[in-house]
Structure 1
Amino acid sequence: MKNTALILAMTAAFGTFNLAHAEGPDPAALKGMYDTGRNMSGLINHCVDKGFLKADSTENAKKMVAFVAGIPGGMDKSDGDKNEARGRKGEILENGEYKSLETSSLGLKEWCQQADEGMRQGLKSVGL
């Protein structure tokens, strides 16, 4: 996954919050944001476990999940635990399918660093 695509994915998840307020929450979009956020949280933990990120990254992942989970609109959170667990195994959720980060063209270390940066930028964009 390219850096630009990753950062766009993270900021889109945060940016959709404003869109949801403007047009009314879309249940499918909210579920997608939550599932992606939980999977990203697991992936960040995977990166910390591998030694590519520091422990503070997990705190940011928790902030991201809490932010997304707090978006009003009655989102379906039923797959959250599963998506986070798959992320902890190094599996990224893309377009409804899981793919191993081990096969990333960036390599795991670089992917982890770019994902962390994307998450930090997303949090900053919403004031967290």
Structure 2
Amino acid sequence: MKNAALIFVIASTLNSFNLAHAEGQDPVAMKKMYDATRNSSGLITYCVDKGFLKADSTESAKKMVAYVAGIPGGMDTSGGDKSEAYGREGKVMEQDGQYKSLEIGAPQGVEAWCKGADEGIRKGLESVGL
């Protein structure tokens, strides 16, 4: 599923993204990354609410959001609240910016998707020392 891949891309981006070189990045790409990160945070909350993850998973998601939001260069955060709210409803942001139901779009099952996303976020945070 493209959506799960997006979360893993975000998590791996935490490892490879050098904040010192972030300025001058494409503003559209940076906004998409921020919105996707906020959506991922909402999805992690959704997974916790469903009982698939423990509450500490939301802390990892918040750390990821804070890390991405801290990228210098005046990131557009205007759509973040909406993206996170959709995530809390179990809706995943697609690469085209549309939202799809995680219940329908996770071929491996929602619980497996949640656990994989949580693991990806934790590994990404660990790789940057968070």
Instruction: Provide the TM-score with structure 1 as the length reference.
Output: 0.89
The 10-residue stretch of structure 1 (102-111 or 13-22) with the greater mean CA deviation from structure 2: 13-22
Asked if 2 retains the 8 angstrom alpha-carbon contact of 1:17 and 1:71, the reply is no
**Hey, what's the Cα distance between the residues in 1 that align with 2:2 and 2:108?**
7
Deviation for aligned residue 1:6: 5.1
Deviation for aligned residue 1:108: 0.6
Q: Does residue 81 of structure 1 match 2:96?
A: no
SS at match of 1:52: coil
**Hey, what's the Cα distance between the residues in 1 that align with 2:92 and 2:4?**
16
Deviation for aligned residue 1:125: 1.7
Q: Name the CA shift for 1:32/1:72 in 2 (closer, same or farther; >3 Å).
A: same
Q: Does residue 5 of structure 1 match 2:5?
A: yes
| Equivalent of 2:119 in 113, 117, 120 | 117
Deviation for aligned residue 1:10: 2.5
Deviation for aligned residue 1:17: 2.8
Q: Name the CA shift for 1:12/1:59 in 2 (closer, same or farther; >3 Å).
A: same
Q: Write the mapping of 1:1-128 to structure 2, written as runs, cut at 5 A.
A: 1=1, 5=5, 8-15=8-15, 17-18=17-18, 21=21, 24-95=24-95, 96-103=97-104, 104-128=106-130
SS at match of 2:52: coil
Instruction: Provide the TM-score with structure 2 as the length reference.
Output: 0.88
Q: Name the CA shift for 1:77/1:105 in 2 (closer, same or farther; >3 Å).
A: same
Q: Name the CA shift for 1:82/1:20 in 2 (closer, same or farther; >3 Å).
A: farther
Cα RMSD (Å): 2.3
SS at match of 2:18: helix
Asked if 1 retains the 8 angstrom alpha-carbon contact of 2:22 and 2:71, the reply is no
**Hey, what's the Cα distance between the residues in 2 that align with 1:91 and 1:3?**
10
**Hey, what's the Cα distance between the residues in 1 that align with 2:76 and 2:29?**
10
**Hey, what's the Cα distance between the residues in 1 that align with 2:3 and 2:85?**
24
Q: Please tell me the residue identity of whatever aligns with 2:102.
A: L
Asked if 2 retains the 8 angstrom alpha-carbon contact of 1:92 and 1:99, the reply is yes
